[in-house]
Structure 1
Amino acid sequence: MTKTAAIIGGGVIGGGWAARFLLNGWDVRVFDPDPQAERKIAEVLGNARGALPMLYDTALPEEGTLSFHGSIAEAVEGADWVQESVSERLDLKHKVLAEIQTANAGVLIGSSTSGFKPSELQEGAQDPSTIMVTHPFNPVYLLPLIELVPSEATAPEAIARASEMLIALGLYPLHVRKEIDAHIADRFLEAVWREALWLVKDGIATTEEIDNAIRYGFGIRWAQMGLFETYRVAGGEAGMRHFMAQFGPCLKWPWTKLMDVPEFTDELVDLIADQSDAQSGHLSIRELERKRDRNLIAMMRALRQQGNASGRLINDHQKAIRPAPVASEDGRALRSQRRMVPVDWTDVNGHMNEGRYGQIFSDAAEEVMAHVGADDAYVQAGNSYFTVETTVKYLAETHAGEMVEVWSRVTEGAGKKLRCLHEMRRASDGEILATCDQFMLHVSLETRRTCDPLPEVQTRVEALAAAHKE
């Protein structure tokens, strides 16, 4: 059954939430009095459609339905989740939360607030037990972290339901056990932001130099290892205790200005704005967003290969959403792959690299193997199929962002032999982009020599070969 999310406030964050829900198969109902809301959300959604699917090796669920509504009450009617993303004014949030609970009593309500505590949001609420902070990070459709912050008045079952729903969207709900101003992550960002303002104001560094210090140095380490694990490694073989003993005393040195804030003058604003314009003013905001998204995709896909940090989350989410192979209408082929071509699969010519055709056809073969019972458990028990020969034909260019499908036929399935003919097609028009004739032999992983498949696998292979025969 399709779930429904109501998005109250359709700015950058609200639009990102709408995209995350919509691309994971939820129906989305939006309320935003801004006459430009539909255009703005359409632009965010356009970026999201070209970005989020690139993280996965399978297609996301079929998109839900997006609709816009003239009132909060209309938007939240029948919703399973309401995400409040209005301006950071407590009086406005109280008014919006009251309208939501009047129209849909008992619905889970998450607030995107970066500063207010849940107890502040719950003041005067009809039912504080279903209100919590679910603070995301931009772009919401790509970055997985959600700070899930309840108060003592938030019901434990509401927290559990919210966490379950967020995980199903491929997100990582970080349960903040004690409410605090600015939660967890923004307190780090604020500390770095204050230091950056001082460095610019004092003429020590420009905005671009500060950004370079982050993206070419510790930012990469933090992206995959965080703060404490990074410093544990810095402690060498003696670990964190040695690091603390070695560098702990420098905390007393007068390096930081974290407790001071530079005077927020027009001159400081002009200085930073001018440097920022010089740094990236030649790019539009949409171009910057696409640049950001593609960089994030490439980094997160690299982490997928290592099964670490955000990459592990994507792998887990993919297992939850990956469909089984689908038979064609005539029963003579299996759809073994449906996915978007990611940006890191292209070469200097701007089209898909030859090696990646081998990747997608290898993935297709594994789906066929799993379909006949030669799945992960079968391999772990000591049996598998090894590829001994492939012939790939490249028939048309394939570009990043294209949705493609692979249709596989078992053309030989007797004894130790398993032969597949794969056709990769563009999903939008069915054009054949490439083919692969793949010949495999069944092997024992213990002896590393060919052997007959187990009877149940052999039976399924023979049945497919018969069904797929020309």
Structure 2
Amino acid sequence: MTRTAAVIGGGVIGGGWAARFALMGWDVRVFDPDPEAERKLSEVMANARRSLPGLSDVALPAEGSVVLCATVAEAVDGAAWVQESVPERLELKHRVLAEVQAACPEGAVIGSSTSGFKASQLQEGAARPGQILVCHPFNPVYLLPLVEVVALPANPADIVAEAEAVLQGIGMYPLRVRAEIDAHIADRFLEAVWREALWLIRDGVATTAEIDEAIRMGFGLRWAQMGLFETYRIAGGEAGMRHFIEQFGPCLSWPWTRLMDVPELTEELIDAVAAQSDEQSGMHSIRDLERIRDTNLVAMMRALKAQNWGAGAVLKAQDARLAGGMGGDHPSYDAPVETLRRAVPLDWTDYNGHMNEAKYLQAFGDATDRMMEIVGCDAAYIRSGGSFFTAETHIRHIGEVLAGAVIRVETLVLKGEGAKMHLFHRMFEGERLIATGEHFLLHVSLATRRPTPPSEGIAATLSAIAAAHAGLERPEGIGRAVGRR
């Protein structure tokens, strides 16, 4: 049964929460009195649909509904999760949380997106303090996995466990904050860097563009995949962190930072920051910058996923959850076998804006891998010394497909005898045929790298599928030579 999430406040953060929940299969109700809420929310949803599915190498659940509600009570009625994302004013949050608790189920989790307030401040005067947690995300919520979760003794263990399970279930990484503190963990770092950056501008040392280059060309890349302490451990060389501290510890007493001395935000400083930022990025609209950001994040996070590292490890675990053990299922053979269903990621597109030709081959290669698993040539079998190698491939590019589109591949086994496996893949977007791929494979011994018969089990399964598929209609394109119509 589809679960319902309510989002109170549909701005940048609230809209990101709505997109994350909806694209992970939840129905979402949003309350926001802003007359522009529907437009803003639809734009966030469009960006999320373009980018989030491309982080996954398996199909996302069917998208849930997103509905704007006229009242808080309407939005939270029956919701299993309520995410408060209203502006950072404590009296406003108290008023909204009281409205939420008056209408939502007693067992619902109420998460606050607050970046600065403590959980104890949010719980003050609440009818059921134990329902309310800090669940602080990072923008864009639909891409970045981190959620800082702050719970107190007033929060029952089952509420906290449910909150963390839900967050993991929508592909996020709940980081439990050990003790409540103003601005939690990550924003305290950001605030420190922000203060130092303001001084560098104020003192004429650097511009906004130069500061951003220092981050994104250097330590920002290191932090993205390894954080602070692992980075410094490596900087200590073979002697590790102790050596790093011994070597660089004295720097803490040097005048390298004005961290505790905050510059006054005079009109002159504000004008300087704004003018430099306009010169740096003013040629792009906000929507353009969001799409540039999303494209870069997807590419970086997918690279990390290939290494099962950092944020990429979270994506890999989410793919496994979404796949739901698909690899162990044996489908019916009385029709072409669906061997792939996924979205086209942003980094699969080229200068023409559509999926590039190499990625058609990758998709068909993934479909072939799935068929290998179905016949029994899985990871364990390959470790035992046998596998299939592709000997010949022919791909026809029939239609273009864009980033975010959901593609599926249906596969026919044309031949399965001896060491030979002959496959014909068809790729669809909906019912539209996008491409076909014909692939001829040979079973080999990994010890000799020469053709050899497969195991009896694989041979029997492959032969059975080929026999079942022999009675099916032969789609157009089988045996097609290059350029021949």
Q: Considering the TM-score relative to the shorter chain, is it more than 0.5?
A: yes
Residue 362 of structure 2 aligns with an amino acid whose one-letter code is Q
**Alpha-carbon distance in 1 for matches of 2:460, 2:120:** 62
Taking the TM superposition and a 5 Å limit, the aligned residue runs for 1:332-347 are: 332-347=335-350
Tell me, in whole angstroms, the C-alpha distance in 1 between the residues paired with 2:446 and 2:3: 44
Q: TM-score, normalised by structure 2?
A: 0.92
Instruction: Return the alpha-carbon distance in structure 1 between the equivalents of residues 17 and 97 of structure 2.
Output: 18
What SS is found at the alignment partner of 1:413?
A: strand
The equivalent of 2:476 in structure 1 is: none
- The Cα of 1:101 is off from its aligned counterpart by 1.7
Provide Cα deviations, 1:153-193, integer angstroms capped at 9, x if missing partner. 11122111111111111100001111111000000000000
Q: CA offset at residue 448 of structure 1?
A: 4.1
Shift of 1:388: 2.2
Please state how far the C-alpha of 1:327 moved relative to its aligned partner: 10
1:138 is displaced (CA, Å) by: 0.2
Q: CA deviation at 1:349?
A: 4.3
What letter is aligned with 2:230?
Answer: E
Distance 1:108 1:373 in 2: 43
- Mapping 1:364-379, distance limit 5 Å: 364-379=367-382
The letter of the residue matching 1:142 is L
* Identity across matched positions, percent: 59
Q: Which string of whole-angstrom CA distances, capped at 9 and with x for unpartnered residues, describes residues 43-81 of structure 1?
A: 100000001011112221100111121111111111111
Task: Give the superposition deviation at 1:447.
Answer: 4.9
* Mapped partners of 1:301, 1:148: distance in 2: 25
1:232 is matched with which residue? Answer: 233
> Following TM superposition, by how much is the alpha carbon of 1:321 offset from its aligned partner in structure 2, in angstroms?
0.7
379-388 or 366-375: which moved more? 379-388
Q: Give 1:11-50 correspondences, 5 Å limit.
A: 11-50=11-50
Q: For the residues of structure 2 that align with 1:251 and 1:100, how far apart are their CA atoms? A: 47
CA distance in 2, matches of 1:399, 1:9: 31
Equivalent residues of 1:327, 1:334 under 8 A apart: no
- The CA RMSD over aligned residues, in Å, is 2.0
Of stretches 404-413 and 369-378 in structure 1, the one that deviates more from structure 2 is 369-378
Shift of 1:446: 4.7
Q: Does 1:165 align with 2:189?
A: no
Deviation of the 1:455 alpha carbon: 3.5
* CA shift for structure 1 position 449: 4.1
Q: What is the match of residue 63 of structure 1?
A: 63
Q: Structure 1 length as normaliser, TM-score?
A: 0.95
Does residue 138 in structure 1 map to residue 151 in structure 2?
no
How far, CA to CA, are the matches of 1:334 and 1:232 in structure 2? 49
For residues 146 and 223 of structure 1, do their structure 2 counterparts lie closer, same or farther at Cα, with a shift above 3 Å needed? same
Residue 73 (structure 1) aligns with:
73
Q: Tell me if structure 2 keeps the 8 A contact 1:106–1:127.
A: no
**Cα offset, 1:128, TM superposition:** 1.4
Secondary structure at the residue paired with 1:46?
helix
Given that residues 119 and 133 in structure 2 are in contact (C-alpha distance below 8 angstroms), is that contact kept between their aligned partners in structure 1?
A: yes
2:444 maps to which residue? Answer: 443
Between 1:97-106 and 1:262-271, the stretch displaced more is: 97-106
In the alignment, the residues of structure 2 paired with residue 126 and residue 350 of structure 1 have an alpha-carbon distance, to the nearest angstrom, of: 52
- The reply on whether 1:386 has 2:389 as its aligned counterpart is yes
Q: Is the 8 Å Cα contact of residues 327 and 333 (structure 1) preserved in structure 2?
A: no
Task: Output the CA distance in 2 between the equivalents of 1:206 and 1:212.
Answer: 10
**Unmatched 5+ stretches in structure 2:** 473-485
- Distance in 2 separating the partners of 1:354 and 1:22: 31
Alpha carbons 1:327, 1:335 under 8 Å: kept: no
**Hey, what does 1:97 align to over in structure 2?**
97
**1:397 and 2:400 equivalent?**
yes
Structure 1 residue 340: Cα displacement: 2.2
Q: Could you tell me how far apart the structure 2 residues matched to 1:42 and 1:348 are?
A: 27
Specify which of 413, 416, 427 is matched with residue 413 of structure 1.
Answer: 416
AA of the residue aligned to 2:192: A
Query: How far did residue 244 of structure 1 move?
Result: 0.7
Q: Which deviations, in whole Å up to 9, do the C-alpha atoms of 1:300-329 show, x marking residues without a partner?
A: 111111111111111111111126489999
Q: Which deviates the most, 193-202 or 92-101?
A: 92-101
**Residue equivalent to 1:430:** 432
> Structure 2 CA distance, aligned partners of 1:296 and 1:360?
22
Question: Retained in 2: the 8 A contact 1:231–1:243?
Answer: yes
| Aligned match of 2:483 | none
Q: Secondary structure in 2 aligned to 1:50?
A: helix
Give the partner amino acid of 2:26: W
- Larger deviation: 140-149 or 232-241? 232-241
Q: Which residue of 1 aligns with 2:290?
A: 289
Per mean C-alpha deviation after superposition, the further-off stretch among 379-388 and 141-150 is 379-388
CA distance in 2, matches of 1:353, 1:102: 53
1:156 maps to: 157
What CA deviation, in whole Å up to 9, does each residue of 1:212-241 have, x standing for no partner? 111111101100111111111111111111
Q: Tell me if 1:6 matches 2:9.
A: no
Q: Quick one: which amino acid aligns to residue 23 of structure 1? A: L
- Describe the SS at the equivalent of 2:432: coil
How far 1:257 moved relative to its partner?
0.8
Cα distance between partner residues in 1 of 2:49 and 2:110: 26
What does 1:243-282 correspond to in 2, within 5 Å? Answer: 243-282=244-283
| Equivalent residue number for residue 187 of structure 1 | 188
SS of residue matched to 1:436: strand
* Preserved contact between residue 101 and residue 107 of structure 1 (Cα < 8 Å): no
Deviations 1:335-357 (A, max 9, x none): 21122222222334444333222
